[in-house]
């Protein structure tokens, strides 16, 4: 039986505007799931809701994973005035079992061992994203939530991030990521969620979705995205 994310009549309002509104939806939580849609569709809001960072004004979000079992990597994470390794050992504030050896192993897993003692604020965009992945890995999550994980990265850094996503999935973790890169979604995802205007309009396998979208909104969105790319 698949683990299911249950969204029941969700409504989230910000500054008087509804930014997320769902009916009764159940999402099988397995493999790599991509959330796509135009800017302002509600993708980041949905990720924050699933992680437990925000609560719905109405309805309920029931995840098969607790907040302690999920890790969220946002589109941009500010770096502290600390070394690369210290960004990981700071997890001891919430998990005293994190050891120096585990922190070093996490850095090695993303190719940052040689920068362990460097200031994190001096890292490139790609290196910052790798550090965020290392921190997420160190939390030993069952669910990893990623908001535009390769936005503004060069092709080599993007390839590295995609490899890390597939590695996480290969370890049995569920990866849920928002992306504007349709080629990337086709490469990585086994399930696609299409959103627009704060609503989930379609959900299904990538091959079916890209070949035969079921809504006019999705058809127009894909036409615009593929022309742009």
Residue 77 is predicted with a pLDDT of 77
Q: Average the pLDDT over 56-77 and give the result.
A: 90
Check pLDDT > 90 for residue 12: yes
- Residue 58 contacts residue 204 (beta carbons within 8 Å): no
Please give the model's pTM, rounded to 2 decimal places.
Answer: 0.90
Q: Average the pLDDT over 25-38 and give the result.
A: 95
Which of 229, 196, 194 is CA-nearest to residue 208? 194
**Per-residue pLDDT tens over the stretch 182-217:** 999 999 999 999 999 999 999 999 999 999 999 999
Residue 99 pLDDT level (bands cut at 50, 70, 90): confident
4-228 has CATH 3.40.50.720 classification: no
Check pLDDT > 80 for residue 97: no
- Residue 50 contacts residue 63 (beta carbons within 8 Å): yes
Residue 229 pLDDT level (bands cut at 50, 70, 90): low
Check pLDDT > 70 for residue 94: no
Calculate the alpha carbon distances from 137 to 42, 73, 117, 158 in Å: 26, 11, 19, 18
Calculate the alpha carbon distances from 220 to 120, 141, 225 in Å: 41, 36, 9
**Per-residue pLDDT tens over the stretch 141-150:** 999 999 999 8
């Amino acid at each position: 039986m698949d683990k299911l994310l249950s969204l029941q009549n969700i409504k989230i309002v910000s500054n008087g505007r509804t930014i997320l509104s769902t009916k009764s939806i159940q999402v099988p939580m397995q493999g790599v799931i991509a959330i796509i849609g135009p800017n302002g569709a509600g993708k980041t809001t949905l990720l924050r809701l699933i992680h437990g960072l925000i609560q719905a004004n109405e309805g309920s979000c029931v995840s098969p994973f607790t907040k302690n079992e999920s890790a969220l990597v946002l589109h941009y994470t500010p770096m502290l005035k600390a070394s690369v390794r210290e960004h990981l050992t700071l997890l001891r504030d919430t998990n005293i079992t994190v050891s120096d050896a585990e922190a070093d192993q996490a850095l090695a897993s993303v190719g940052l061992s040689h920068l362990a003692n460097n200031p994190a604020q001096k890292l490139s965009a790609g290196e910052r994203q790798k550090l965020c992945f290392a921190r997420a890995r160190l939390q030993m999550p069952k669910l990893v939530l990623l908001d535009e994980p390769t936005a503004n990265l060069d092709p080599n850094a993007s390839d590295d991030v995609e490899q890390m996503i597939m590695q996480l999935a290969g370890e049995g973790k569920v990866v849920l990521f928002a992306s504007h890169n349709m080629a990337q979604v086709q490469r990585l995802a086994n399930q696609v969620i299409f959103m627009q205007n704060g609503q989930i309009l379609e959900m299904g396998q990538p091959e079916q979705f890209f070949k035969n979208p079921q809504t006019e909104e999705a058809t127009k969105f894909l036409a615009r995205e593929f022309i742009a790319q």
